[in-house]
Structure 1
Amino acid sequence: MRSPIDSYLADLYTDLLALTSGTPYQGIPAMADADTSKFAIALATVDGHIYHVGDAELPFSIQSISKPFSYALALDDNGQDAVDEKIDVEPSGDAFNEISLARGTGRPANAMINAGAIATISLVNDEESSRFERILEHFSAAAGRQLQYSEAIFASEMRTGHRNRALAHLLRSFNIIEKDPTPVLEDYFRACAVMVSTNDLAMMAATLANGGTQPRTGEQVMSKEAVQRTLSVMTTCGMYDDAGSWIAAVGLPAKSGVGGGLIAVLPGQIGLAIYSPALDPHGSSVRGLAASERISADMGLHFVRAARLGRSVIREHYDITQVPSRTRHTEGAVKLLAEVGIRAHIVELGGDLLFAGTESMVREISELEGTIELVILDLRRVDEIDQIAVRMINQLADGLAAEGRTLALVQEHVFEPLASIQAFPNRNEAVEWAEFTLLARHGSPELVPTEVAIRDFAALTPLESTDIARLEALMEESRIEDGRILRTPGQEFGGVYFILSGKVVTSTVQAGRLVRHATLSAGMTFGEMALGGEGEQTTRVTVEGRLHLKKLSAAAINRLEAEAPEVALRFWKAVARDAYTRVEANIKDSENPLH
């Protein structure tokens, strides 16, 4: 099944294709004629899954998006204090290439503007291998694959990068760069000329979101301390003189590049990357900004709302054969359910259903085999459901329905925005529904009979037809309306009830609450268990729908014992055997660790 996230990104992509304002960056001749029709969006989770749409594999130069990753490398090489001596962490309020150094010290305002980024490159250790080799290795580790740089774009920047050359020499004059600035500048240009795809950038952003651990390879690319400082500076400075507007509207640490790329990071949850080379006056992708605002708003990603870890909310995932309901089925139905029960799955969720946790759940369900017909989401341990989670669950239900499959919920209190989805107050009732649904789809009518004659009751199978006829002659027949309580705990033994058609529900009081225990339908009996527990009824029995039954009362049983004790003995043996079978099944059920 197609994931709702894939569908959302596809719709967003189509909407934003109509946005055609902006022009490619003209300051680097090799990039001035970039194709503005190219557009891609990629979203990577912290467990390494990528959703993408458009030209997500198209290579382009990373440009200023290199800056956060170079900064993290410099922090790990030198430590925060040493880097802070050279580069401040304050928003500049200036354009990315502004010549703005602190009076007296010459310190750049931050590592996201060009002056700070050039100073950052000078701090990357080059004692064991060349500086750029280490930078490229670092970028590649974050992307999860080997990256290359463009000689053509590097050469173009070298020819035209006069302002950056001036910045490098100014930094040298203040001893921010302590050696010849030319090699530093060359490595800066090479770093900007590294070629990436939108998918690469999404994985690099997800590495930042994942505390510096590459989601797919598991490599610790940068320390958590370096990531914390890098994301902090990205939050306040990553979008240059548009940073305030960005953080108010989108609310994510971000970095744009004049190559048309843009990344945004939701710590603990996702990395977002967008590519579209038409830029606004601030040097950021026009479609990239629009897409980021839409995604943040629609998915509830603003850090004020979503600052929680994006770990999976799935606690357990299993099929209903592992947790059969307490409904008594015919022998044939039990055998069929053992075969087809794997077509109904239960997914237990816990914690907060925000974007990242809901995404992991939706992805797992979307990837289920097509043979899975019924999916039950158990929400009883969910603490909070965000609007995006509600939207995604509803979309999941629609997607499953379009394929002839069904989503159902288990929730003690119905969450109103999910009211359109079938819900049950506990797992047993949900499993019961799933069992009857599968039996109706895959079985014959006799497996779930709607009406059963006394002679066909499984409990009476050991008896001869003459014995059954004698018992039936002593029975009282009744037709009872929905909702009536037939038996309550503590009542003395009232006889054995035989359900001819309809259903009853047995329930018990646990911790002050009425808990549904089992559903009994046509062909089943109740009441005989009261002979245990000193002859008292132990459960409440309530009619569900219209009920047709026959009762062998206590007085009728006494009469049978007096008039035909051998028939009474055979009857009690049959009933005891049937009751023992049910008790044994309940014991096995209660020992199941999933209960």
Structure 2
Amino acid sequence: MDSPIENYLRRIHAELAGLKDGKPYSAIPAMANVNPDCFGIALATADGYVYEVGDTREEFSIQSISKPFTYALALADLGMEAVDAKVDVEPSGDSFNEISLAEGTGRPANAMINAGALTATSLVKGSGGRSRFKRILDTYSAFAGRDLDVNQRIYTSEARSGHRNTALGYLLRSFGIIETDPAPIIKDYFRQCSVMVNARDLALMAATLANSGRHPLSGDEVLDLASVERVLSVMTTCGMYDDAGSWISSVGMPAKSGVAGGILAVLPGQVGLAVYSPPLDAHGNSVRGVAVSQRLSHDLGLHFVRAARTGRSAIRAIYDITAAPSGIRRTDEAAEILAEHGHRVQVIELNGDLLFAGAESMVRALTELPDDVELVVADLRSVDEVSDVAIRLIAEAEDMLRRSGRELAFVELEGTVAASLQELGRETASFTTRSAAIEWCENRMLEGHGTELVLPDTIEPADSPALSPLDPDDAQLLQDMMEDRTYDDGDVVRRVGQRFGGVFFIVSGQIMTSIPGPDGSRVKLATLGPGMTFGEMAMGEDRRQETTVKASGPVQVKVLTADAIDELAEQDPVLSMNLWKALTQDAYARVEQYLREAAVRIHD
């Protein structure tokens, strides 16, 4: 099944591909002839799933997007105090190549401008047989999750045309900010800007920062959390240079751009976004990249003010109904059908918040369901908040499920998600307990995959599973001994503590059994339907009713009373003994089912 998120990204890509403003960067000759129509969007979740649309595998030089990662390596090597002594954390308000140095000390305003980036490069030292640049390149590769390399043609072009950066390097040396010969440092800076990446790489690099420095696919810790916090903080205030204020108000994510046309943005705990499109605006930022970021932030609720909570997967468990059946006792034939086809019903338990990241994990799970799944139950009882973005994504996923012949149902105490979908014109089944939802699904499976006899409206006692071990004539004889009784919806048929009153055979309708819970509330045990029995567990002189039995709708039963059972024992002891054996066999089967369902009933 298609993903609603991929479909959304395709729509945004098609719409913004027509945006023709801006021009590719031409100050570096090797980058001057890039195709201005290249356009890719990659969105990586904190658990490593990447949505890609357009030219996401087209490689380009990382340029200034390298700055946060070199700064991160310097922080990891030396600690904040040592790095802060050389480069500040204040926004400069200037463009990326301005000479923003503190008066007197020469300290650069931050590590995102060129002067600060040169300083950060100078702070990285060779170690363990690896040169400074080899360590920088390895760090970039670890963030991307693959080996990256330098484009020598772009590096040579940068080195030949980068007079301003060369001058900045020597100016920093004059202030003692760079403490050694600046020439090798300047070359390494040009090399780091010439590392080749694609939009997918940048999205995973951003997702690693979003995931507290741990790569979402490999699980490797690339950067410690304290350094991640510092890097993202500086990216928030300084990453977009003299457009930082407008960016943080309209997009609301720490970000970094590069003159090759890339933009990287991070929503901590949730996603990493990357866009590649070469035409730049007056600030040196990708025109389409800015437009995409603004649209996604608005449409998907990615602004940090709206999406402040952690975006860990909202999915607690996924299983089919064979692992957690309803509390209904089925006939043997029905049980066989459910055992064979129960995998066609999947239950998805969710918890936490359904903001963008949480809704994304739910929608992704829906799109990855096996082809033979027919019904999906989303259990939302442990969900704290459901955003408007989540409702829209769920609505699109529900549409896609319906188009593929599937159906979605909810378990929620208030029914708010189903009500919200109804306002959008979608009728979706909703239940307050998981047992009720699974019961509904089981009935749908039996209707679709069984015969009309699997869910009959009426079953006489002689045809019930409990009496199936008996000779048909004996079963009919027992039925003839029974009393007819009827009950209306809500009527109490038996109460806890009552003495044995006979064996009740349900002819039509449904019966619900429950027991008192620890807090005095009623705990539902099972729903019984036609052909099923109750009351026999209290057989015996000193036994009493252990459950409350109540009619759920109109109910017709036949009762083999205690007096009739006593009379049978005197007149036909063989049949009486066979009846006991049949009822005991049926009771054992029921106890086994109750044990399998215990965890589900307690949860409900």
TM-score normalized by structure 1? 0.92
Q: Are the structure 2 counterparts of residues 388 and 591 from structure 1 closer, same or farther at C-alpha, using a change threshold of 3 Å? A: closer
Q: Is the 8 A contact 2:525 2:601 kept in 1?
A: no
Q: Tell me the CA shift for residue 106 of structure 1.
A: 0.7
Q: Are the structure 2 counterparts of residues 592 and 483 from structure 1 closer, same or farther at C-alpha, using a change threshold of 3 Å? A: closer
Corresponding position of 1:76: 76
Does the residue aligned with 2:453 lie in a helix, a strand or coil? helix
Q: Are the structure 2 counterparts of residues 390 and 532 from structure 1 closer, same or farther at C-alpha, using a change threshold of 3 Å? A: farther
Q: Tell me the CA shift for residue 550 of structure 1.
A: 2.7
Q: Is residue 2:525 matched to residue 1:517? A: yes
Corresponding position of 1:304: 305
Q: Distance in 2 between matches of 1:581 and 1:123?
A: 73
Q: Distance in 2 between matches of 1:220 and 1:578?
A: 57
Q: Distance in 1 between matches of 2:261 and 2:421?
A: 39
Q: Is residue 2:13 matched to residue 1:6? A: no
Q: Are the structure 2 counterparts of residues 88 and 440 from structure 1 closer, same or farther at C-alpha, using a change threshold of 3 Å? A: same
Corresponding position of 1:288: 289
Q: Tell me the CA shift for residue 58 of structure 1.
A: 0.4
Task: Give unpaired runs (5+ residues) of structure 1.
Answer: none
Q: Are the structure 2 counterparts of residues 534 and 252 from structure 1 closer, same or farther at C-alpha, using a change threshold of 3 Å? A: farther
Listed as ranges, the matches of 1:196-595 within 5 Å are 196-416=197-417, 417=420, 420-478=427-485, 480-510=487-517, 511-531=519-539, 534-554=542-562, 556-557=564-565, 570-590=578-598
Q: Are the structure 2 counterparts of residues 183 and 384 from structure 1 closer, same or farther at C-alpha, using a change threshold of 3 Å? A: same
Does the residue aligned with 2:176 lie in a helix, a strand or coil? coil
Q: Are the structure 2 counterparts of residues 488 and 592 from structure 1 closer, same or farther at C-alpha, using a change threshold of 3 Å? A: closer
Listed as ranges, the matches of 1:175-194 within 5 Å are 175-194=176-195
Q: Are the structure 2 counterparts of residues 277 and 525 from structure 1 closer, same or farther at C-alpha, using a change threshold of 3 Å? A: same
Amino acid at match of 2:340: E
Q: Are the structure 2 counterparts of residues 184 and 569 from structure 1 closer, same or farther at C-alpha, using a change threshold of 3 Å? A: closer
Q: Tell me the CA shift for residue 482 of structure 1.
A: 4.3
Q: Tell me the CA shift for residue 69 of structure 1.
A: 0.7
Q: Tell me the CA shift for residue 274 of structure 1.
A: 0.7
Q: Is the 8 A contact 2:88 2:107 kept in 1?
A: yes
What CA deviation, in whole Å up to 9, does each residue of 1:198-232 have, x standing for no partner? 00111111122222222223333333232221111
Task: Give unpaired runs (5+ residues) of structure 2.
Answer: none
What CA deviation, in whole Å up to 9, does each residue of 1:473-516 have, x standing for no partner? 34343555545443443445443332223322223332233333
Amino acid at match of 1:456: D
Q: Is the 8 A contact 2:524 2:601 kept in 1?
A: no
Q: Are the structure 2 counterparts of residues 32 and 483 from structure 1 closer, same or farther at C-alpha, using a change threshold of 3 Å? A: farther
Structure 1 window deviating more from structure 2 (512-521 vs 567-576): it is 567-576
Q: Are the structure 2 counterparts of residues 488 and 414 from structure 1 closer, same or farther at C-alpha, using a change threshold of 3 Å? A: farther
Amino acid at match of 2:397: L
What CA deviation, in whole Å up to 9, does each residue of 1:538-573 have, x standing for no partner? 333333344343334455556656766665555444
Q: Are the structure 2 counterparts of residues 9 and 161 from structure 1 closer, same or farther at C-alpha, using a change threshold of 3 Å? A: same
Q: Is the 8 A contact 1:322 1:594 kept in 2?
A: no
Q: Distance in 1 between matches of 2:275 and 2:478?
A: 78
Does the residue aligned with 1:446 lie in a helix, a strand or coil? coil
Amino acid at match of 1:104: G
Structure 1 window deviating more from structure 2 (242-251 vs 357-366): it is 357-366
What CA deviation, in whole Å up to 9, does each residue of 1:176-215 have, x standing for no partner? 1223323222222221121110001111111222222222
TM-score normalized by structure 2? 0.91
Q: Distance in 1 between matches of 2:308 and 2:125?
A: 34
Q: Is the 8 A contact 2:63 2:192 kept in 1?
A: yes
Q: Is residue 2:15 matched to residue 1:15? A: yes
How many residues were matched structurally?
Answer: 595
Q: Are the structure 2 counterparts of residues 568 and 219 from structure 1 closer, same or farther at C-alpha, using a change threshold of 3 Å? A: closer
Structure 1 window deviating more from structure 2 (107-116 vs 129-138): it is 129-138
Does the residue aligned with 1:82 lie in a helix, a strand or coil? helix
Q: Distance in 2 between matches of 1:534 and 1:254?
A: 76
Listed as ranges, the matches of 1:142-153 within 5 Å are 142-153=143-154
Amino acid at match of 1:517: L
Q: Distance in 2 between matches of 1:260 and 1:71?
A: 21
Q: Distance in 2 between matches of 1:468 and 1:214?
A: 67
Q: Distance in 2 between matches of 1:118 and 1:594?
A: 62
Q: Distance in 2 between matches of 1:103 and 1:516?
A: 75
Q: Distance in 2 between matches of 1:433 and 1:32?
A: 63
Q: Is the 8 A contact 1:490 1:537 kept in 2?
A: yes
Corresponding position of 2:121: 121
Amino acid at match of 1:423: S
Q: Is the 8 A contact 1:496 1:553 kept in 2?
A: yes
Q: Distance in 2 between matches of 1:220 and 1:126?
A: 21
Percent pairwise identity: 54
Q: Are the structure 2 counterparts of residues 594 and 322 from structure 1 closer, same or farther at C-alpha, using a change threshold of 3 Å? A: farther
Q: Are the structure 2 counterparts of residues 583 and 79 from structure 1 closer, same or farther at C-alpha, using a change threshold of 3 Å? A: closer
Q: What RMSD, in angstroms, separates the aligned Cα atoms of the two structures? A: 2.6
Listed as ranges, the matches of 1:40-59 within 5 Å are 40-59=40-59
Q: Is the 8 A contact 2:482 2:560 kept in 1?
A: yes
Q: Is the 8 A contact 1:323 1:594 kept in 2?
A: no
